[in-house]
Amino acid sequence: MKKLSIVATSRNDDHGGNLLHRTQLFVSGLIAQCNRHNLDAELILVEWNPPSDRPRLSEVLQWPIDTGLCDIRIIEVPEAVHRRFQHSENLPLFQMIAKNVGIRRARGEFILATNIDILFSDELMKFISEGYLKPGRTYRIDRYDVYGDIPLDMPFNQQLEYCRNHILRVNHRKYSRNLITGQINNIYKSANLCQYIPTCWKYWLNERKSKRLDPLWTLKYIKYVVEHWFKLLIEKGPLQLHTNACGDFTLMDAGSWHAIKGYWEWEGYSMHLDSHLLFVAHHAGVPETVLNEPMRIYHIEHGNGSGYTPEGKKILYQRIENAGIPILDSNLVFNWAIQMRREHRAIIFNNENWGLIDEDLPETRIGKE
């Protein structure tokens, strides 16, 4: 069994611009770090619905003759399988279903779900390689966004140094901050928490049905809510987990991934499915551990609106709306999170066939017979 499986998905469609450049940085950096830190790992790259008019990723990326301690597995989900899903004509890749394909077939003791435009700090890889990970935990980390012009021919040490010196945006647990403009986007703003007052109020009143008809008690309770509303929301609202940029780094042991049945395989745009998974994991008994500095991940910036950023979210949402692709309402996700907290249980939607486990999917291994 491998120590770690790293799962990502992509297709050769130049999504976000310069996709092959970003993917090459990701793959080459990962192989170099696994060998540097003596980490017995595998990269599972799920190639979803490959374009018929372009070569496969195995053909266009540069691979070392010997990948060393990092096995490379490319699992293909053919167009015929893709076409079975709703909205497949407008959405060429179902990101979280694709990741489930890799997670379900992973051979590692621990599984990291990530993306093809991520570089890992040496401190993080050293932490993983030295055996500090524990089963029954969900590991999260801050993401640092960097400019996309990292030279491919630069030694990997220098690429990491380049990232450290060219940070555009920092995505912490509670906020994202653009270091160029100074713009701060709070993840759990008080104004946003206000929307959960009716839900929290309802739950609280339901627990005290015998007092609902007492006008004096009602007035006292209204006064209490006004004075202590923030405390009420913290106690009765959704847990403030590290959902910021969580699709780029979610790490659990294989048993926990299988227990929660991976990401919800909702047939729409992947937004908020990664956050939903964190709430599911927590309430399934896999609580969050945030890995702190100097451990971090670097995200290679791509086209504005091709993925979520605070500055590009309007463009992204408009693009999704114009394409007629459904997107999960964040309020719905948070209301489920409140329900899970109230009922002390995880809400899992997938069945036993998650990850297309019944499909015999083609697999290519790089650098191995």
User: Between the CA atoms of 348, 352, 358 and 363, what dihedral angle is there, to the nearest 10 degrees?
Assistant: 60
Which residue, among 267, 224, 249, 284, has the nearest Cα to 124 in the 3D structure? Answer: 249
- pLDDT (0 to 100) of residue 367: 75
- Please give the Cα distance from 131 to 8 (Å, whole number): 22
- β-pairing verdict for 363-366 and 70-77: antiparallel
CA separation, residue 192 to residues 54, 130, 181, 238, 240 (Å): 44, 40, 23, 11, 12
Task: Cis check for the bond before 294: say yes or no (omega within 30 of 0).
Answer: yes
- pLDDT (0 to 100) of residue 347: 97
- Please give the Cα distance from 66 to 148 (Å, whole number): 27
Q: Contact 336/235 with Cβ under 8 angstroms?
A: no
- pLDDT (0 to 100) of residue 238: 78
Which residue, among 148, 93, 142, has the nearest Cα to 302 in the 3D structure? Answer: 148
The single-letter code of the amino acid at 78 is P
Sketch out the chain's domains with CATH numbers. 2-186+241-304+346-366 (3.90.550.10), 190-236 (no CATH)
What beta strand segments (E) does the chain contain?
Answer: 2-10, 41-48, 70-77, 108-113, 118-120, 138-141, 143-146, 167-171, 175-178, 184-186, 250-253, 288-291, 297-300, 363-366
Count the alpha carbons within 13 Å of 108 in the hemisphere toward its beta carbon.
Answer: 31
The DSSP secondary structure of 187-219, one letter per residue, reads: SS-HHHHGGGHHHHHHHHHHTTGGGTT-HHHHH
Edge to edge, what strands does the sheet with 2-10 contain?
Answer: 288-291, 138-141, 250-253, 108-113, 2-10, 41-48, 70-77, 363-366
Q: Contact 167/179 with Cβ under 8 angstroms?
A: yes
pLDDT means over runs of 10, the chain (369 residues): 96 90 96 97 98 96 94 98 96 97 98 97 97 97 94 94 96 92 78 54 57 55 60 69 96 98 96 96 98 96 73 81 90 90 95 97 85
3-class DSSP string for 130-148: CCCCCCCCEEEECEEEECC
- Please give the Cα distance from 266 to 42 (Å, whole number): 27
Q: Which two tokens stand for residue 231?
A: 């405390």
CA separation, residue 132 to residues 71, 127, 248, 282, 314 (Å): 22, 6, 20, 20, 40
- Please give the Cα distance from 120 to 217 (Å, whole number): 55
- pLDDT (0 to 100) of residue 202: 61
- Please give the Cα distance from 238 to 234 (Å, whole number): 7
Angle in degrees, CA 242, 15, 31, rounded to 5 = 65
CA separation, residue 135 to residues 20, 252, 256, 257, 327 (Å): 34, 7, 8, 11, 32
Question: Position of tokens 């990962």?
Answer: 30
- pLDDT (0 to 100) of residue 58: 96
- Please give the Cα distance from 64 to 68 (Å, whole number): 9
Whole-angstrom distance between the N-terminal and C-terminal Cα of the chain?
18
- β-pairing verdict for 138-141 and 167-171: unpaired
